[in-house]
Amino acid sequence: MSSAGGLIVKALRVFRGLMAFLTAIPFKMDESFLDISARYMFLFPVIGAIIGFLVGLYARFTNNVLFFLFGYINTIVFSGSNEVLFEFVAKGLASAMTVAFILVIIGLQHTDGLVDVGNALGIRKASLKEKVDIAHVWTVTRTGAFFAILVSFFTLLLIFLTNTDVVIQSLVVAEVSAKLAMVTTGWQGTSPPPRFYENRWEKGRNFIDSIRKKHGLYAISLTISLAVSIALLGLSGVLAVASGMLVGGFMIIVGKQVFGGVNGDIFGATNEIARMVALFVLVI
């Protein structure tokens, strides 16, 4: 095989590994996809752009279909007297379907991280070990459920408030910002104390080791994020990317307080919160 052919095969393997890790799309991969994802974590924004494009297409499609459908019902049944109401209902339903599609295409691993962080935050006076334990029991506390519902609700609301003409661009930029936020937590974050975690947490530590203090790799990730966001939304895209960096930095602090460092739950929660914040920035 030529060097060019080998490079293409390697690029495809990296792409499949990252997609297998960041989405619920069934790619045929062995356990090495975790190592690949950790090693090429700086390329997360590329996958974010692909995810955002797919979600944006779905949002635009459902908006168009539901606006046509409810407009037809309004015209035939109500003689066009409830146009504003039916447009409101159509866009609200399309926004809810878009949030559901995000959960389908990404899976629940990021939402699960958000719930786990909420579980731990719900017991403020507990020790670090107790917070780690409560975060990972097979249950959902009121705080964990509240966090997940709150973020999902505001994400839905912000998609509803996004202009349909730029919904694809907005969702691409929001996902890119969310993935850059994850990279930021790895770049400046530290792993939790090993004494509180069994061997199963070693894989999460690999992501920190792959990007921590590697400023050149982070610069590549940031450049990709800015290039995509500026091309699609100009200055608004820059502000959305900046919000992702800020959320990443904030979640490092949260991770330190809750788990003693950045783990998989913090990565997942960071993704969900950063997407919501980026959409907020773009809406205002």
As a three-state string, the secondary structure of 35-101 is: HHHHHCHHHHHHHHHHHHHHHHHHHHHHHHHHHHHHHHHHHHHHCCCCHHHHHHHHHHHHHHHHHHH
- For residue 130, what pLDDT is reported? 58
The pLDDT value recorded for residue 72 is 80
Tell me the pLDDT band of 190, cut-offs 50, 70 and 90.
confident
- Which among 226, 222, 262, 228 is positioned nearest to 42, based on CA atoms? 222
At 44, the pLDDT band (50, 70, 90 cuts) reads very high
**Cβ atoms of residues 269 and 110 within 8 Å:** yes
Asked whether 144 and 118 are in contact (CB, 8 A), the reply is: yes
Name the band, by pLDDT with cuts 50, 70 and 90, for residue 253.
very high
More confident of the two residues 80 and 144: 144
Q: What is the mean pLDDT of residues 261-267?
A: 87
Rounded to the nearest angstrom, the gap between the alpha carbon of residue 111 and the centroid of all alpha carbons in its chain is: 9
Q: Using one digit for the tens of pLDDT, what is the confidence trace for 92-142?
A: 999 999 999 999 998 877 777 788 888 777 766 555 555 565 556 556 677
- Place 202 in a pLDDT band, splitting at 50, 70 and 90: low
Residue 246: predicted pLDDT? 97
- Burial class, 30, CB count within 10 angstroms (exposed 0-12 / middle 13-18 / buried 19+): exposed
Q: Which of the pair, 170 or 34, is modelled with greater confidence?
A: 170
Spatial neighbors of 263 by CB under 8 A, at least 6 apart, are 191, 192, 197, 201, 204, 255
Instruction: Name residues whose C-beta falls within 8 Å of residue 138's C-beta, 6 or more positions apart in sequence.
Output: none
Q: Per residue in 156-169, pLDDT tens? A: 999 999 999 999 99
pLDDT computed for residue 138 by the predictor: 54
**pLDDT reported for residue 124:** 61
Hey, what are 234's tokens?
């100009």
pLDDT of residue 255 exceeding 70: yes
55 confidence band (pLDDT: 50, 70, 90): very high
